[in-house]
Copies of this chain bind each other. A is one copy, B any other.
C-alpha cells in the first residue's frame, strides 16, 4: 500500500531547495515577504517535485477546511442534483468544495448527518430538514459549525435560512380548486409530524376553507419521495371499493411521486388529466419530458441552492455575531398538461 507514489511533503521541498519549511509555506500561501528570486527558484522545485500541500494537515492547523456539507435525502431524486449543482457552482467560485451527505429519508439519520459533518470538520452545513421542529432545533444546536436551512418555516432556529413565502401547497390547491376539481386527494411522504405550514397541512386547510370534502381515503402516505410511492398510490386509489368516490385530482408532495403516480394511473387506464388531474412539487427538469407534462409548483431548487451557499459563506466569515438572516422566495405554479388538457 505504501508503494504507491507517496506524497511529497513540505520538508522534502525545503530540503531540496535548501530553505526552511516556513519559506516554502509562505510561497505556497502567497504570503508576503519572500524575495522574488527565491520565490521563483523554490516555485520551480515545487513544480518539479509535484508538491501539493496536505490539506488535512493544513486544516488541522488553520481550522479551515474550505468545504461545506450539503445534507440531502436521496441523490437519486433529481431535485437534489439540481440543487446541489447550483450550490456547487457558487461554492466553487468562492474556493469551497461541496460535499454531499445522503441520509436516505430516515429522519432519525438527520442527527447522524450533523454528527458526521462535525466529524468531517466541514466549515458549514446546508440542510433540507425533514425532522419535526423540536428535533431540528436539537440538531442545529449540536452542530459545531454554522448551519443554513432550506425550506423551513420555523423562525426561532439559530440558523440562516432560505424558504418560500408560502407553502407550495397553497398554489397547488388553489389551482386544482380553480379548475373545478371536487375530490382532491393527497399523496406524499409520511412525516413524523406535519408542520403547520407543511404541504399536507395546507392541503387539509385548503379543503376546509373551500368547503370540499375531507376524505381520509383520499390520503396516501408512502415512505419515500420516489416513483415507487407514486405507483403504489395509483394502485391504492384504484383499489378503493367505492368507485364513485375516486379522486378527480391529486396533489402530490413531490414530482418523483407525481411521475410515478401518473405512470401508475395511465397503466390502469385512467386518463390524466381528464379523469384525474395531478400536480406535483419541485418542478424538476423531467416535468416537461414525460407525457403528459407535469404541472408543478417550483420550489426553486437552483435559487435555493445558490442562496443557501451565499448565506452560509457569509456566516462563516462573520461568525454568529450578526443576526440570522432569512431569505424568502416566491413559489411559482407552472401549469402543464397533467392538470389542464388545453393550455
Contacts and interface: CB of A to CB of B under 8 A. Distances in A.
Interface of A: 1-7, 50, 52-57, 59-60, 65, 74-76, 78, 81-82, 84-85, 88, 99-100, 102, 115, 118-121, 141-146, 227, 259, 263, 285-286, 288-291, 316-321
A4 B320 contact: yes
Nearest to A64: B1
Contacts of A52: 115, 118-119
A3 B320 contact: yes
Given A76-B285, A78-B81, A100-B100, 8 more contacts: A3-B319, A5-B143, A50-B142, A52-B118, A54-B119, A74-B85, A99-B99, A227-B285
Given A81-B75, A121-B56, A227-B289, A316 B144 contact: no
Contacts of A82: 76
B1 A316 contact: yes
Contacts of A99: 99
Contact of A56 (B60, B81, B145): B60
Nearest to A288: B263
- Most central of A4, A57, A145 by chain B CB within 10 Å: A4
B146 A4 contact: yes
B60 A7 contact: no
A300 to B, nearest CB: 16
Contact of A259 (B145, B146, B289, B321): B289
A291 B286 CA distance: 12
Nearest to A53: B119
A126 to B, nearest CB: 15
21 contacts: A3-B319, A3-B320, A4-B143, A4-B320, A5-B144, A52-B118, A52-B119, A54-B121, A55-B119, A56-B59, A56-B65, A56-B121, A57-B60, A76-B78, A76-B82, A76-B85, A78-B78, A78-B81, A81-B81, A99-B99, A290-B291
B316 A289 contact: no
Contacts of A74: 85
Contacts of A85: 74-76, 102
Contacts of A76: 78, 81-82, 85, 285
B88 A84 contact: no
Contacts of A59: 56
A100 B5 CA distance: 23
A66 B282 CA distance: 35
A127 to B, nearest CB: 16
Contacts of A289: 227, 259, 263, 286, 290
A234 B45 CA distance: 52
A263 B75 CA distance: 25
Contacts of A78: 76, 78, 81
A329 to B, nearest CB: 21
Nearest to A321: B3
Nearest to A286: B286
Contacts of A50: 142
A118 B50 CA distance: 11
